[in-house]
Amino acid sequence: MIDVGILGATGVVGQQFVRLLDKHPWFRVSWLAASERSAGKRYDELAWRLASPLPPHIGALRVAPLDAVDDAPSLLFSALDSSVAGEAEVAYASSGRLVVSNARNHRMDPLVPLLIPEVNPDHVGLLGVQRRARGGNWTTGGIVTNPNCAVIVVAMVLAALRQFRPSRVVVTTMQALSGAGYPGVPSLDAVGNVIPYIGGGEEEKIENEAVKLLGDFDGSVVRNAPFVVSAAVNRVPVPDGHTAAISIDLAAEPSIADVVAALDAFTSEPQARALPSAPPKPIIVHQAPDRPQPRLDVATGNGMPVHCGRVRPCPVLGYKLVALGHNVVRGAAGAALLNAELLVARGMTASDAQGRERDVTHTAGRP
């Protein structure tokens, strides 16, 4: 078992980490941190907002303040608010810890992998580049990120259709309230309403992160994918699950049946390695004309698959479909967990790196 910690353990995503890590076959949560508001309290003294029970051994842990860097284990999940994640994650990474983050702060850093294990598993190689470039304790630590919760839905679809050479993509999202964290959007703004704006550069994140995710890693840099994305985002009164209406121009001009078959057959390294959190089918294609729907589909497979439906011709771009993903699981805690599992499977954790450092030192000392 590998000891892990959670930065931002008290928030919407942090609590999902606690839930998903309970009884995980490889990871054991031994340390939690959050703001000064929560620090010093037992975790079970704080509000638990999930339907599943709080695991008692986690409830007994005392929440550490964010500056308790030296007490943290070597593998950390970050669900920190972006106002503090940037600096805090650097502090932990530069102390030799590997930070697997949900926050937006470092996603577009050219030295930081922006990773979805089904989409771009080879981009983990960028962690080695980061460690060499930053030196010091970074050589065993580092930062790895998962994308924005809406981007994951779009990127999985584009990865499945990569062979058909996407050139232009138009995305309109309908994003759940849980995407705004807790307490999130005021109820009087949200109920019975659609808000055609999400702050924090949500549209730009979809447009920019998708081309990094689908880009080529040549062993030293990631070159953005050669397509353009236009995004329009909306906040809707749905608890969990981001829906995206996607139109795509595919240069290879496949038939609709070929597009459906490619989505349905999509599989990648997490499935080949049978990583513990990998869904057997990363994309579930629905045939019913009124699916996928958040209420009916988002919890399938513990929230890890992306759902697609209504694959049909688009008179403007050629192809259009609807996609859905669980924003807090597949778009956040589950995404980071799968990233960490890939890092373990590929021998890239901080303790693996320490082992390699030791080997190099011993070898260098030999005659």
Which amino acids are annotated catalytic?
A: 149, 242
- Site for ligand NAP contains 142 (CB under 6 A): no
State yes or no: residue 145 binds ligand NAP (CB under 6 A): no
Of 4, 5, 13, 115, the residue at the interface with ligand NAP (CB under 6 A) is: 13
- Whole-Å CA distances, 280 to 151, 211, 283, 358: 21, 26, 9, 37
At its nearest, how many Å lie between ligand NAP and the CB of residue 27?
A: 19
**Is 150 a binder of ligand NAP (CB under 6 A)?**
no
Range 24-43, binding ligand NAP (CB under 6 A): 34-35, 37-38
Q: Is 120 in the site for ligand NAP (CB under 6 A)?
A: no
Query: What phi, psi does 311 have (nearest 5°)?
Result: -75, 120
Of the candidate spans 49-57, 96-104, 288-296, 302-310, the one that interacts with ligand NAP by CB under 6 A turns out to be 96-104
Binds ligand NAP (CB under 6 A): choice among 21, 66, 211, 233: 66
Exposure pattern of 319-357 as b/e (b: 16+ CB <10 Å)? bbbbbbbbbbbbbbbbbbbbbbbbbbbbebbbbbbeeee
149 binds ligand NAP (CB under 6 A): yes
C-beta atoms surrounding 225 within 10 Å:
20
The backbone torsions φ and ψ at residue 343, rounded to the nearest 5 degrees and listed phi first, read -65, -40
The C-alpha atoms of residue 64 and residue 6 are separated, in whole angstroms, by 10
Is position 328 an interface residue for ligand NAP (rule: CB under 6 A)?
A: yes
**Residue 109 C-beta: closest distance to ligand NAP, Å:** 15
Answer yes or no: are the C-beta atoms of 115 and 156 closer than 8 Å. no
**Alpha carbon separation from 177 to 7, 48, 223, 305 (Å, rounded):** 22, 18, 33, 20
8 binds ligand NAP, rule: CB under 6 A = yes
Binding site for ligand NAP (CB under 6 A): 8-14, 34-35, 37-38, 66, 79-82, 84-85, 102-104, 149, 178-179, 181-182, 327-328, 331-332
